[in-house]
Structure formats: C-alpha cells, structure tokens
Amino acid sequence: MDRPMGLIDINLCSGRRFSHFSTMDTWIRSKRREIGKPSFCIAMLFATAAGSFAEEAPADPPPAKDATTFADPVSTYRAYIDAVRKTDSAAAKSCFIIRDEHDARALDIMIGLWISTRRLNQIAVKKFGAEAARANLEDYGLNREDLTDAALDLTEARLTGAVVRFPDNDTAQLVIKWQEDDDNAAFEYRGDEPIAFRKKAGAWKMDGKGDEDHSGAEFPEEGTWAAAFRDHVIIANEAAERLTTNTLNSPQALKGFLDQKISASKTRYEEAVIKRHRKGGTGEK
C-alpha cells in the first residue's frame, strides 16, 4: 500500500478513526487484530534496517552488573520489562544482541518508542493530571495502555508458566502463554509469536534480526516507517523536556506543540515518499 501516511485511516478497536500518521505508534496496536503481531514494529525495524548498512564492528553493551540478569531467556525478558518500567534505554538495549550499528539504530527507535511515550505520559500526568494528559496525548498515539504499570505488571506475571524452547545450544524461543483479552492490556503482547534469543558469551539476549547481511542506503531512510517512528521518538522526547522545563506550561500549549511538530513531520514524510517513488523506490505499508 504505497500511499503517504496522512492519506490513510485506520479503524482502531475502539471504533474511533485516526490519521495514520498522527498516530504512528497507535498504528502498531491497531494492527494487532489484523496481523496478530503487536511487536510488528520490532520486526519491521530490523527488517528495514537489514540491507541498510555497510557491515561495521559489533557494538556490544557493557556486561551486566548482576551475572544472573541474562542467565536464561525469562530472566532477560524480566530485566527488559524492568528497564522499560524505569525508562532506562541503556538497560533495555543491553537485553538485545547488538551486532553492528544497524542493530543499534533499530533498537534506538524501537526502544525509544516505548520509553519516550511512557516518560511523556508520566510527566504529563504529574503536571496536568491523568484526564488532561490522556485528552491531549491520545489522538497522537502518545497515550498507550500497553505501556502503563498495569500492562508491564501483566506481562511480567505471564512469564510465570512461559515456555522456553531450545532448538540448539545457542538459540532459544520464549513463548508467553497469554490469556483471553491480554492483547490490549499487556506490554508487547505477541499472540503465539515466540521471542527469539541467542546466547553470546554465556548471556542470553533477545535477537531481533537473525543473520541478515547489511549493505546499501543509510538507515533510517526518509519516507519509510522507520523514519516516521524515529520522528515519533524525537517529538515525544522534546515534549517531555519542554514539560519538565516548564516551556510548555498548560495542556493547550502541549497540544499546540504536538500539532505543529507532527504536522511538520507528516509533511516531511509525504514529500520523502514522493521522492522515493520518483526514484523508483517503494513506500512503506
């Protein structure tokens, strides 16, 4: 579907209709029932990044302070949930295999989506109250029930009873046994999709990509979903910073800021899509 985001609407489970672009992150959640993969952006980012970079030296995170943190896939995923809960990007990234710069940038965007959105919500709620924060963030995909404390608690609880499969000594698949109605209430609900792990230097880390080669254009390329998600992270982080420094001191000021930033980002995206088509490229779905 090679059309600019601003021209597409998505029917969300709530029955409301939103601009495809202005709810970049909410779009992921809307796809849950359609494709059964709420972690779609994870696969999308790694798949988009694959073939995007010349091969570079791996950039591994520092070793864990606690040797038991990555002792097995369940422990690693629990550490990941804790890092998102604490909005600790470095700790969240340390739960993944990072082979090269393409992996690092893809993770910056994926983890940035979760953490920037969660942090912005926390700051807005503290400053304006829950109702005002929700009213001024949800239409932009910046108010997500699957990033609340309750959502993180639910996913962590579901780790009890999760199944770990070991195809060989160095790879594993974590399958969480979700329950009915978990899809809209849990962090990173994946349905029946397993979470891939790989053991490296004795530590079990999530493996977002596999063994693809990387070559070609810079990532993220403008006019792709990865670039749109990157903009989402930048906007959410800037809004959070402005709320913290009181540059945005009212719900109305926050809404005006988001309107302006998202409109500009939408325009950049649509112009980039047109350029990609003229060059013979394809737009993102």
Determine what percent of the chain is predicted with pLDDT higher than 70: 71
Residue 130, both tokens? 């829950």
Q: pLDDT at position 246, please?
A: 94
Give residue 226's pLDDT band: very low, low, confident or very high (50, 70, 90). confident
Q: Residue 167: helix, strand or coil by DSSP? A: strand
Q: Please give the order of strands across the beta sheet that includes 195-200.
A: 163-168, 171-175, 195-200, 203-206
Residues composing the chain: 285
- Express the helix, strand and coil content of the chain in percent, nearest 5 each: 50, 10, 40
> On the CB side of 279, how many CA atoms lie within 13 Å of its CA?
11
Give residue 104's pLDDT band: very low, low, confident or very high (50, 70, 90). confident
State pLDDT tens for residues 57-80. 333 444 444 556 899 999 999 999
Across 12-26, 97-111, 205-219, the highest mean pLDDT is recorded for 97-111
116 vs 214 pLDDT, higher one: 116
> On the CB side of 192, how many CA atoms lie within 13 Å of its CA?
1
Average pLDDT over residues 270-282: 80
Give the bridge partners for 195, in sequence order.
174
| Low-confidence winner among 14-23, 30-39, 43-52, 57-66 (lowest mean pLDDT) | 14-23
81 pLDDT exceeds 50?
A: yes
| Low-confidence winner among 48-57, 119-128, 206-215, 224-233 (lowest mean pLDDT) | 48-57
Q: pLDDT at position 125, please?
A: 96
Taking all residues of the chain, what is their mean pLDDT, rounded to a whole number?
77
Q: pLDDT at position 209, please?
A: 65
**pTM (two decimals):** 0.75
Asked if the bond preceding 62 is cis, omega within 30° of 0, the reply is no
Q: pLDDT at position 139, please?
A: 86
How far, in Å, are 53, 111, 189, 195, 239 from residue 261 at the CA level? 28, 21, 29, 34, 10
44 pLDDT exceeds 60?
A: no
